[in-house]
A and B are shown apart, each in its own frame.
Chain A
Amino acid sequence: AQKITQTQPGMFVQEKEAVTLDCTYDTSDPSYGLFWYKQPSSGEMIFLIYQGSYDQQNATEGRYSLNFQKARKSANLVISASQLGDSAMYFCAMREPSTGNQFYFGTGTSLTVIP
Chain B
Amino acid sequence: NAGVMQNPRHLVRRRGQEARLRCSPMKGHSHVYWYRQLPEEGLKFMVYLQKENIIDESGMPKERFSAEFPKEGPSILRIQQVVRGDSAAYFCASSPPQGAFEQYFGPGTRLTVT
- A residues contacting B by CB (< 8 A) are 4, 33, 37, 43-45, 47, 50, 52, 91, 93, 95, 100-108
Residues of chain A with a CB closer than 8 A to B114's CB: none
Query: Which of B's residues lie within 8 Å of A, judged by CB?
Result: 31, 33, 35, 41-45, 48, 55-56, 59, 89, 91, 93, 95, 101-105, 107-108, 110
List 8 extra interface pairs beyond A101-B31, A107-B41, CB under 8 A. A37-B105, A52-B101, A91-B42, A102-B56, A104-B45, A105-B35, A105-B43, A108-B42
Q: Is the CB of B59 within 8 A of A102?
A: yes
Q: Is the CB of A43 within 8 A of B101?
A: no
Q: Are A103 and B103 in contact (CB under 8 A)?
A: yes
Q: Which residues of B contact A105 (CB under 8 A)?
A: 35, 42-44
CB distance from B43 to the nearest CB of A (A): 5
- Tell me which of B42, B91, B101 contacts A33 (CB under 8 A): B101
The listed residue (A44, A91, A93, A100) touching B107 by CB distance below 8 A is A44
Chain B neighbourhood of A104, CB < 8 A? 45
A62 to B44, CA, bound (A): 28
Given contacts A44-B107, A44-B108, contact A103 B56 (CB under 8 A): no
11 cross-chain CB contacts under 8 A: A44-B107, A47-B105, A50-B102, A91-B43, A95-B101, A101-B103, A102-B48, A102-B56, A103-B35, A103-B93, A105-B43
Residue of B nearest to A32 (CB): B101
Contacts of B108 in A (CB 8 A): 43-45
- CA A108 – CA B105 in complex, angstroms? 17
List A contacts of B33 (CB < 8 A): 102-103
* Contact of A43 with B89 in the complex, beta carbons under 8 Å: yes
Residues of B within 8 A of A52 (CB): 101
Contacts of A37 in B (CB 8 A): 105
For B59, the chain A residues whose CB sits under 8 A away are: 102
Which residue of the partner chain, among A47, A50, A103, A108, contacts B45 with CB atoms under 8 Å? A103
Check A100/B48 contact, CB under 8 A, given A91-B42, A105-B43.
Answer: yes
Residue with the greatest number of chain B CB neighbours at <10 A, chosen from A37, A44, A45? A45
